Structure 1
Amino acid sequence: MNLNLRNAVIHNVSGNTQDQLEDTIVDAIQSGEEKMLPGLGVLFEVIWQNSSETDKKEMLTTLENGLKH
């Protein structure tokens, strides 16, 4: 992924409140547009890098369970 994209996404949401961040995530998911996926990936990268090992394991469990159909 292009470093400029990471910087642009982070710049666009820096300083946002939790409600604004939630709106950004929900809007990106609900739009269903593939062009939104890299931005969501950048946000997940920030979450992952700032999470404890316990939180990472919980996210992985949630992801694993969400992928079971």
Structure 2
Amino acid sequence: MENAQMLVAYSSARSLLGGIGRTTLYALIDAGEIQRVKIGNRAFVTARSITDYVERLSATPEVATHVAA
């Protein structure tokens, strides 16, 4: 197992995704673009789902569209 962080707090995920807002992050989670996991009362997103999402955006030659809330 790697020493990399596997779970990312929402605030850190927003920063990693270019400083997107809470509403946009929640919309990405609701759309299934970013994976959310819960441990007790805390919610996180997986680092892998963030990486996968950015790779999908990078692979698409078109301009990424905003996910409406």
TM-score (norm 2): 0.35
- From the CA coordinates, give the structure whose radius of gyration is larger: 1
Q: Name the one with the larger strand percent.
A: 2
TM-score (norm 1): 0.35
Q: Name the one with the larger helix percent.
A: 1
